[in-house]
Amino acid sequence: MTPKNDITDILSLLAPGKKLRDGIDLIISANLGALIFLTDNAEEHLSKGLIQLGFVIDTEFEPERMYELAKMDGAIVLNKDATKILYANAQLNPSSNIPSFQTGMRHRTAERMAKQTDEILIAVSKRRNQVSIYYGTNSRVLYPETIILPRLNQEIAVAQRYKQSFFELLSEINIAEMENRVILSTVVEAISKGFMTLKVAQKAEKYLLELGEAAESSKLEINEIYRITPRYLGALIMDYSKDLLDFQYPQEALKLFDGFKTEEFLNMKLISQKLGYDIETENDLEEFFVTPRGFRLLYSTRIPSIIVRNVVETFKNLETLMKANMDELINVPGIGKKRAERINRAIRRKNEFSEKLSSEMEDHK
């Protein structure tokens, strides 16, 4: 059975500061346990005998009310969005034929009920001081903010280090491009760092769901990573893939690595092969010189992507593009005088930036 419940929606109900989470926190602080069933199909489950009534409550949800009701042994039944308390002290009767590997009675009942009804069950363990969410055939432990926040901060710190390394390598590539000495190993390492930035950010994003509004500042950091990294990474891939890739926008070039596992992004040989290069060992990367097409420079001008491709197909590589005069640029389909001037300015900026960086690197030697 495929669960109809999205974990994003579930965690948003359980984020710190939300009423349902406040009620659960009250139950935990009082060293109580609870079995909470969220459903909009309560009457149907009653008719099938899956719910056996205790007390009909039918009142607006308040954390304190759920806490008081948790002092009774049975389950608390809420509507799907946890705005109403429907029943308390109810007995849940899922089929005992449904397999469960949980040890506690609440957790076994919650798992079986979730599998049978495809609904959301929350088990609060008195003995383990742990909250477990069961939804369909899936389950997840809900950790307290004191555990999740340090993990989130750690993942963001790692993502920021990868991001810094990625952009430092891009700067190295910019300088090497001006001297026609770009080594494949530098390009592949930059691609590795770019993808690892995104992979770690994705991991951090899972923690953001659990923290809700308590992690707004961290959310801004993650959003900034997503705002700029895919664009620069995709353009780098477009520039240095062996064959001209048929993607319209730079971010789409990330699809070339669809199916790659996280650990594969640390394998330089696999990345180079995915780019289309016939590399047998990682040592070969150090002796393999590559030439960019000019996508990164052209994307920076903000001219339409279809026109960017026209320019790349006309001049073939960055070196030729950098030598193009205004007349040659204007003759490219879709490039008029204004767009030619924008490209020309980008070429000048690249020259000036690369010379400045090269000079700074010489000063630090």
Model confidence pLDDT, tens digit, residues 36-72: 999 999 999 999 999 999 999 999 999 999 999 999 9
Q: CA-CA distance, 83 to 61, in Å (whole number)?
A: 5
- Identify the pLDDT of residue 212: 75
Count Cβ neighbours within 10 Å for each residue of 110-148 and write b for 16 or more, e otherwise. bbbbbbbbbbbbbbbbbeeebbbbbbbeebbebeebeeb
Whether the predicted pLDDT of 361 surpasses 90: no
Res. 3: pLDDT tops 50: no
Q: Please tell me the CATH code under which domain 293-364 is placed.
A: 1.10.150.20
- pLDDT above 80 (res 8): no
- Angle at the Cα of 359 (from 356 to 363), degrees rounded to 5? 135
User: pLDDT tens digit string along 349-360?
Assistant: 887 776 676 666
Whether residue 170 contacts residue 135, with contact meaning beta carbons closer than 8 Å, is answered with: no
Longest dimension (CA), the chain: 85
Instruction: List Cα–Cα distances, 240 to 93, 212, 317, in angstroms.
Output: 60, 39, 10
Which of 244, 157, 251, 257 is closest to 207 using CA atoms? 157
Q: Does the fold of domain 293-364 match that of domain 7-142?
A: no
217-258 residue pLDDT tens = 888 999 999 999 999 999 999 999 999 999 989 999 999 999
Report the Cα 152 to chain-centroid distance in Å.
Answer: 13
Q: pLDDT tens, 263-289?
A: 999 999 999 999 999 988 888 899 899
Least confident window among 10-24, 83-97, 210-224:
210-224
Q: What is the mean pLDDT of residues 92-101?
A: 94
- What the block records as the tokens of 225 is 């990573």
- Looking only at the bridges linking them, the beta strands covering 75-78 and 34-38 are parallel
Reported confidence tier of residue 149, pLDDT bands at 50, 70, 90: confident
- At 1 the pLDDT is 35
**Residue 332 and residue 310 in contact, taking contact as beta carbons nearer than 8 Å:** yes
| 111-123: average pLDDT | 96
pLDDT tens sequence across 297-318? 999 999 999 999 999 999 999 9
Partner residues linked to 121 by β-bridges: 37, 134
pLDDT, mean of residues 183-194: 98
Q: What is the pLDDT of residue 5?
A: 57
The CATH number assigned to the domain with range 144-292 reads 1.20.1260.110
The pLDDT, as a whole number, for residue 167 is: 97
**What pLDDT does residue 2 have?**
36
Strands 55-60 and 130-135: unpaired
- pTM for this prediction: 0.77
Better-scored residue on pLDDT, 197 or 207: 197
Ranges of each domain in the chain: 7-142, 144-292, 293-364
What's CA 170's distance to the chain center, in Å?
Answer: 22
Confidence of residue 6 (pLDDT cuts 50, 70, 90): low
Q: What's the CATH fold of domain 7-142?
A: YojJ-like (1 (3.40.1700)
- As a whole number of angstroms, the distance between CA 2 and CA 332 comes to 52
Average pLDDT, the chain: 91
